[in-house]
Structure 1
Amino acid sequence: MVRLTPDGEATVLSSVVHSQIDDHAAFGGVVPEIAARSHVEMIDGVVRRAMVGAGIGYDGLDGVAATAGPGLVGGVMVGLGFGKAVALARGLPLIAVNHLEGHAVSARLGARVAYPFLLLLVSGGHCQLLEVRGIGDMSRLGTTIDDAAGEAFDKIAKAMGLGYPGGPALEKTAEGGDGSRFDLPRALLGRKDCDFSFSGLKTAASRLAQTCETDQDRADLADAVQSAIARQLSERSDRAMADYAEKHDHRLFVVAGGVAANRTVRRVLEATADARGFAFLAPPMAYCTDNAAMIALAGAERLQLGLVSDIDAPARPRWPLDEARALADPVHPTGRKGAKA
């Protein structure tokens, strides 16, 4: 739960997260059916704990925000359905929130952040650069044409036998590693846009993982992977900063999403921002990965602007932040390959 003042200052009253890591660890990744079932079983208790933590009841709410996508639609349907039920029962406005918009505003949970800013949203399912002018007003500057950075972390970690969740396990394994031993591919070197690609890196590293025999081998490969991902994120972000600086005097670079919790990625991106004369900001660690507070804040900002949703708002497995750009310039045109994004 979040309280938002008229001048935009956010205070987190409570943010309860029920982790499903143990439920999925045996499978090496998220199983959609298990995730949706766990949502059904736990949502009552999670909401109750959030209420107790905030010290308020349903009568103290101004509105109900719920994630409506993008994501595994089973879990999204559970949360959105619960939110609709509360809104109907209490006569409260419903705000259907784009999960990515929650990440976009998450840095505002820990600091006073003014719009506009340049955002790198980097997580397990998404990797994109955005110009954020305000809530509901964002332009895509670049995106991944295949895999997200977090997906590359997780799947390479799985190939190395590091367990789940893979990103934190790979980061820990990389400590004490020497990544210079391995020569990993660099993607899209001939292109001058801000798009990303991690599929080649993922394939090459997964093959190299089969040759690792010792803990030192695995540490060296983990360090190489971490450095390669950070380097690509830095290169594309640097291009975006150069373009952004031509249009804006307010130079703030925000990094959000689960991969923003990686210390090496943060360090490299902070150095890149400093070299371009940008201030650097990332959310507190607790708000990098998926959390309730960022959705509450996005909902509160929308409510403040009168941007409420109809009660029949659908759950959406795909929901681009910049829908106009996604329609005009799709990364994956429909056809035999399907629409991945």
Structure 2
Amino acid sequence: MRILGIETSCDETAVALVEDGRLLGERLATQVDTHALFGGVVPEIASREHLRVLPRLYRQLMDATGLRAEDLDGVAVARGPGLLGSLLVGVSFAKGLCLASGTDLIGVNHLWAHLLAPGLEGELRFPALGLLVSGGHTHTYLIQSPTEFELLGRTLDDAAGEAFDKTAKMLNFPYPGGRFIDDLAREAEPDTGLFPRPYIDNPTLDFSFSGLKTAVANHVADHPELVFETMADPQAVADLPGERRAALARVCASFNWAVADTLRIKVERALKRVGAVRSLIVAGGVAANTGVREAMRTVADGHGLALTLPSLSLCTDNGAMIAHAGWLLAKAGCRHGLDLEAIPRGRIVPLDWERAAPKG
């Protein structure tokens, strides 16, 4: 069974083909350089870029694999959550393909696709506790199967990835700045008293990183020497002199630790509530962070769980995860009609599949 995946939820345009759980090929165009001029994603520009490059990426992928639309068993598309204008580009393109070829349309929850993505590289063991850590969301789920996700804890305001982005912006790091924070953090020991671990003094599983962001802002205001005068380029970060580099590394290590340990505490708490699971799945852009990966490895080892981490290329938004999630949904007999809606961030993605006989 061949499934085409289309991803346009934010600022990455991506297409991929999966056949029976195996990745056949993918194409991706990033908008990082475009949005770096503004220090963040501009929704209108993102939508226009998706519209410009998606047809070309699709043609390139189909030419490379020697396939036509009529050879597909389904077209999977990220329907949300995300930027509405960006999502509509991908959803409209997918509907056009399905209308022209008669193949099935499969709307995919972008967040679930992140957590299912490691299945492209190894076995997913259910039931699992899933931690999604991205720019817009920090969620925990009890995952019983590719179609059964129970939300346990969610982002109340700023997600972990947003805290990374805003911290990097305060310091005038290159955009996107999360990887520069991670790189510098590895050069120093964290000061565990420098920044708070936010929203842990309560019994809930929800997340709030706004307090950590404020603490960093106050520290930066008290130490303006840490900040680049203008947005730095990667070479400027690499060429930082000794004392200033050490000071910045300490701040980055302390921030990294505060995020990672907060996630550890909440995941430990979630594991106590859900009872026996077979694995811990960690996914999303922040899952590429060294401190987060190490913290989750400690949790998994402490509970005797298999730790499922995607490779770094699958942490960020990509078409392969959408194609793979679509393949799993198609196997379970899930599909959508051409009235499929795009779901912007802030709204719940409905479980509105049409059920058919499961496919082999």
Equivalent in 196, 201, 212 of residue 212 of structure 2? 201
Give distance in 1, aligned partners of 2:130 and 2:349.
12
The Cα of 1:193 is off from its aligned counterpart by 2.2
Equivalent in 148, 163, 174 of residue 137 of structure 1? 148
Q: Which runs of 5+ in 2 are unaligned?
A: 1-15, 226-243, 352-360
Equivalent in 314, 320, 331 of residue 287 of structure 1? 314
Equivalent in 20, 30, 49 of residue 19 of structure 1? 30
Give distance in 2, aligned partners of 1:40 and 1:16.
15
The Cα of 1:58 is off from its aligned counterpart by 1.7
Equivalent in 237, 241, 247 of residue 217 of structure 1? 247
The Cα of 1:254 is off from its aligned counterpart by 0.5
- Give the TM-score taking structure 2 as reference length: 0.84
1:226 alignment partner AA: N
Q: Match of 2:348?
A: 320
**1:298–1:226 Cα change, 3 Å:** same
Give distance in 1, aligned partners of 2:194 and 2:266.
20
**Once superposed, what is the RMSD of the aligned Cα atoms?**
1.7
Contact 2:76 2:323 in 1 (8 A): yes
1:107 alignment partner AA: P
Q: Match of 1:256?
A: 283
Give distance in 2, aligned partners of 1:218 and 1:79.
40
Give distance in 1, aligned partners of 2:129 and 2:325.
17
Q: Match of 2:70?
A: 59
Superposition pairs of residues 177-188 of structure 1, within 5 angstroms: 177-180=188-191, 183-188=194-199
Contact 1:140 1:322 in 2 (8 A): no
Give distance in 2, aligned partners of 1:224 and 1:322.
39
Contact 2:200 2:265 in 1 (8 A): no
Give distance in 2, aligned partners of 1:135 and 1:208.
43
- Give the TM-score taking structure 1 as reference length: 0.88
Contact 2:285 2:315 in 1 (8 A): yes
Give distance in 1, aligned partners of 2:117 and 2:282.
10
Contact 1:63 1:93 in 2 (8 A): yes
Matched, 1:267 2:278: no
The Cα of 1:321 is off from its aligned counterpart by 5.8
Contact 1:100 1:321 in 2 (8 A): no
The Cα of 1:322 is off from its aligned counterpart by 8.2
Give distance in 2, aligned partners of 1:36 and 1:168.
25
Output one character per residue of 1:207-258: Cα deviation in whole Å (capped at 9) or x when no partner.
21231522322221111111100000011011112223x2x3x420010101
**1:58–1:189 Cα change, 3 Å:** closer
Residues matched between the structures, number: 316
The structure with the greater share of residues assigned to strand is: 2
What secondary structure is seen at the aligned counterpart in 1 of 2:28? Answer: coil
